[in-house]
Amino acid sequence: MINIVYIVSAYKLPAQFGRLLQRLNGPGVSFVVHVDRKTQRSAYEEMVARTVHFDVRFLPRHSCHWGGFGHVRATLKAFDYLVGEGVPFDYAVLLTGQDYPLLAPVRIERFFARADGCSFMAHWRLPDPRWGRPGGLERIDRWHVIAYRKWLHVSLPLQRRLPGGLEPFGGSPYWCFSRAAVEYVQRYVTEHPDVVRFFRHVFIPDEIMFQTILMNSPLSGSVVDDNVRHIDWTRKQAPAVFDRHDLPTLVASPALFARKFDETVDAAVLDGLDQHIAEQEALG
């Protein structure tokens, strides 16, 4: 049996958060959760109450802001906990509270059991035209500061270079890492605090830091260029919030997970996925 730990970053929708963990829960499954410190105390307490029957560890809270280092910091806290406490796991999967599985837990476990220790993370060498004319290098070679009270992003024209001779890579912030990948990243950032300091002033570092570390590592050959997520970036206010009309596409997707969902917009799509997963479970 493959042990899977889900690292979940959440900040709202406590009922949907509890529903997500319930849908993912199964033998060999555990959870490490970070809830944004900006989330109201009542919502946080409801999240805790909805997950008391699961194997879950809630991390100390800090504020997370889009484009800033907070999301990376939450992941690094999770890695420190997993490695430092010797938590038994074979794969770590990063999710948000608005993700949802497209497969039954037994089928997700089966997928990783057949993965032969590979990690799954969409990645590309920078610069890349997917990130505009500068190709994403402007996120790295300038000094970025975000004033969080009014979300003011300042990009200072101070030329910077990645430490340690690292070659920059970017990609999706959502991934599935083997235990070897988690341990490598945790050890690397512990031994290279200068790299962590550098990424504190990178713009949207969760789309660059882990990709850069792993793709410059001896494990690069075991990283599959696929985040096994179904995400629709084609609509306005991307990524799209899925509704019941997306069910045929979601059910037909080869991905393991999808994002994003909002029960206050349409809970019926989650009901439809639950029915789809129940049919999978009936088939085994």
Say which residue, 65 or 127, is predicted with more confidence.
127
**Average confidence (pLDDT) over 184-188:** 98
* Interaxial angle between packed helices 268-283 and 14-24, expressed in degrees from 0 to 180 and rounded to the nearest 10: 10
Dump pLDDT digits (tens) for 65-87: 889 999 999 999 999 999 999 99
Dump pLDDT digits (tens) for 250-263: 999 999 999 999 99
Say which residue, 238 or 265, is predicted with more confidence.
265
**Average confidence (pLDDT) over 180-199:** 97
Q: What is 4-231's CATH number?
A: 3.90.550
User: DSSP label at 218?
Assistant: T
Contacts of 1 (CB under 8 A, 6+ apart): 27, 28, 109, 113
On whether the CB atoms of residues 232 and 259 are closer than 8 A, the answer is no
Q: Which two tokens stand for residue 241?
A: 């919030």
Quote the mean pLDDT of the chain.
95
Identify the burial level of 276 via C-beta atoms within 10 angstroms of its C-beta, where 0-12 means exposed, 13-18 middle and 19 or more buried.
middle
Question: What per-residue confidence (pLDDT) applies to 149?
Answer: 62
Using pLDDT thresholds of 50, 70 and 90, give the confidence band for residue 146.
confident
pTM of the model: 0.96
Task: Give the containing element (helix H, strand E) for 169.
Answer: strand 169-171
Question: What per-residue confidence (pLDDT) applies to 205?
Answer: 97
Using pLDDT thresholds of 50, 70 and 90, give the confidence band for residue 237.
confident
Q: Which two tokens stand for residue 198?
A: 């550098």
